[in-house]
């Protein structure tokens, strides 16, 4: 099907399907339909077997990076024709990532040896969607990074959810609400969106279930020091924005991944005295040295040799290197400040009390990541159904080497330990 014809069909479907179902108010419907109508690009690629990845980029304004990149991973009966699905989910990526590098890394550049959570969920019969935040598309002109606030991201997410529901309706899947699944800071955004949406009339809500993966949106009283640290982070980041520092570039992590992949045994230009592979192992296996988000917090479970990370226990170095190297070059500093201010809780940038959340909630944590620190947030919602699951190998005394934050996405045992329970929960809800 011609790209322009399909884009027009989706735009018309947005108006007809959502208006007929009474899913949203007329003003936001018009904006959302117009967004799909201004499609910049549309493409389709095979993932595995009958699972395909569709990617749509839509324009939202005149700013240099006023674009959203939407993804759909679904089983097909014919080109562009999905098989019947048992429900839908919108996946939100974390920092220095995109939908592809987090959830379909086998499609990334460089390609990862891991197929990913999105194709796995699609193979189980789910209609999987995702949206990339605006900074993931920023290239030479980054002048609009200062406007990429959390408030803007929430509006973008609302548009993405409406487009997904309209497209599902137009392709025979029904226009039901979607589950919202977020990883890392994507989990914090998911909490925030669900809280904001919870204050809207039922006819204007797009989400019917919430799944935060290994992050928090509040802190227990015992973790006051951690909350105060985020207040300090937010103040420093807002200060940098005020001084003109609108970009939080990912070039360091990109270089770490690239060097670990292409020259693992050579001396690291980034970590004197370490090899390129050793530098990456330290960053991902002992992340708490640089980002103390939890006691002994790490992105990937290390194999420890004394006090040093000598290898990875759960995810392969190739998968982790591909994830880092595939990071988008730019990221908005104002977003980081807003997210940290929300965690601080003092004068947050948006009004999003967790008590507004009433949809079923599943929290999946990693014992070596945020883990049990994420449970406090689940106690502050008003949901009648809350389930928590912490993936672990050891007891608390071995937290430093337990299942890591990103192991939920890239570990060899992630399908059995995290993905299958998640799929079962989504299919039930």
Name the residue among 154, 187, 243, 135 with its Cα closest to residue 375: 187
All residue ranges of the chain with pLDDT < 70 are 1-37
Report the chain's terminal Cα–Cα distance, integer Å.
33
**Strands, E assignment, 145-193:** 178-183
- Write the CB contacts of 246 (distance below 8 Å, at least 6 apart in sequence): 142, 145, 146, 332, 333, 334
With beta carbons less than 8 A apart as the criterion, state whether 90 and 131 touch.
yes
**Residues in Cβ contact with 281 at an 8 Å cutoff, skipping those fewer than 6 apart:** 302, 309, 310, 311, 312, 317
In words, the CATH class of domain 3-221+356-428 is alpha beta
pLDDT for 39: 73
Q: What pLDDT, on the 0 to 100 scale, is given for residue 23?
A: 42
Instruction: Please tell me the predicted confidence (pLDDT) of residue 37.
Output: 45
- Which residues lie closer than 8 Å to 365 by C-beta, 6 or more apart? 213, 214, 371, 372, 373, 374, 375, 388, 389, 390, 391
pLDDT of residue 270: 95
Q: Cα(372)–Cα(363) distance, rounded to whole angstroms?
A: 10
Q: Are 39 and 3 in contact (CB under 8 A)?
A: yes
The SS3 of residue 330 is coil
The candidate with the shortest Cα–Cα distance to 14, out of 140, 169, 125, 127, is 169
Task: Pick the closest to residue 359 from 150, 120, 90, 94 (CA basis).
Answer: 90
Length of the chain: 429
Task: Tell me the C-alpha distance between 147 and 368, whole Å.
Answer: 34
State the pLDDT at residue 230. 98
Q: Are strands 127-132 and 386-391 parallel, antiparallel or unpaired?
A: unpaired
- Cα dihedral 135/212/49/131 (nearest 10): -20
Q: Which residues contact 221 (CB under 8 A, 6 or more apart)?
A: none
Which among 338, 69, 72 is positioned nearest to 192, based on CA atoms?
338
User: Which of 200, 210, 209 is CA-nearest to residue 23?
Assistant: 200
DSSP-derived pairing of the beta strands 207-213 and 302-305: unpaired
Q: What is the number of other CB atoms lying within 10 angstroms of the CB of residue 400?
A: 19
Domain with CATH 3.40.50.1820 in the chain: 3-221+356-428
Query: Which pLDDT value is given to residue 382?
Result: 98
Q: Which residues of 275-314 are buried (b: 16+ CB within 10 A; e: fewer)?
A: bbbbbbbbbbbbbbeeeebbebbbbbbbebeeeebeebbb
Helices (H), 117-149: 117-123
**Half-sphere exposure of residue 429, counting CA atoms within 13 Å on the CB side?**
24
- The number of angstroms, rounded, from the C-alpha of 119 to the middle of its chain's C-alpha atoms is 15
pTM of the model: 0.93
């Amino acid at each position: 099907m011609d790209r322009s014809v399909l884009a027009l069909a989706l735009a018309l479907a947005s108006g007809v399907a959502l208006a007929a179902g009474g899913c949203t108010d007329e003003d936001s419907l018009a904006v959302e339909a117009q967004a799909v109508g201004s499609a910049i690009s549309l493409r389709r690629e095979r993932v595995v077997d009958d699972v395909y990845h569709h990617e749509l980029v839509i324009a939202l304004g005149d700013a240099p990076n006023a674009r959203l990149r939407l993804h759909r991973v679904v089983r097909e009966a014919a080109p562009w024709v999905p098989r019947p699905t048992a429900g839908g989910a919108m996946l939100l990526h974390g920092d220095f990532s995109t939908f592809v590098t987090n959830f379909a890394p086998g499609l990334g550049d460089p390609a990862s040896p891991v197929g990913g959570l999105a194709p796995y969920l699609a193979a189980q019969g789910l209609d999987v969607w995702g949206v990339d935040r605006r900074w993931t598309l920023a290239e030479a002109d980054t002048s609009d990074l200062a406007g990429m606030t959390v408030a803007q991201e929430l509006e973008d997410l609302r548009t993405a959810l409406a487009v997904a529901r309209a497209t599902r309706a137009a392709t025979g899947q029904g226009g039901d609400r979607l589950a919202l699944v977020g990883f890392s800071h994507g989990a914090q955004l998911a909490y925030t969106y669900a809280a904001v949406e919870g204050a809207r009339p039922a006819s204007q809500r797009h989400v019917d279930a919430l799944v935060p993966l290994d992050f928090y949106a509040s802190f227990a009283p015992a973790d006051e020091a951690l909350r105060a640290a985020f207040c300090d982070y937010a103040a420093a980041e807002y200060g940098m924005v005020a001084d003109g520092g609108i970009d939080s570039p990912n070039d360091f992590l990109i270089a770490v991944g690239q060097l670990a992949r292409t020259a693992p045994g050579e001396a690291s230009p980034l970590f004197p005295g370490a090899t390129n592979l050793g530098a990456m192992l330290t960053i991902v296996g002992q992340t708490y040295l640089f980002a103390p988000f939890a006691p002994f917090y790490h992105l990937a479970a290390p194999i420890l040799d004394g006090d040093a990370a000598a290898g990875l226990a759960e995810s392969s170095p190739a998968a982790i290197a591909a994830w880092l190297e595939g990071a988008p070059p730019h990221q908005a500093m104002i977003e980081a400040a807003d997210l940290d201010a929300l965690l601080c809780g003092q004068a947050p940038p948006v009004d999003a009390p967790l008590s507004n959340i009433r949809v079923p909630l599943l929290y999946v944590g990693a014992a070596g990541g945020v883990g049990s620190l994420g449970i406090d947030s689940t106690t502050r919602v008003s949901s009648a159904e809350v389930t928590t699951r912490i993936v672990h190998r050891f007891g608390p005394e071995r937290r430093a080497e337990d299942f890591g934050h990103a192991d939920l996405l890239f570990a060899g045992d992630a399908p059995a330990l995290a993905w299958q329970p998640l799929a079962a929960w989504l299919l039930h809800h």
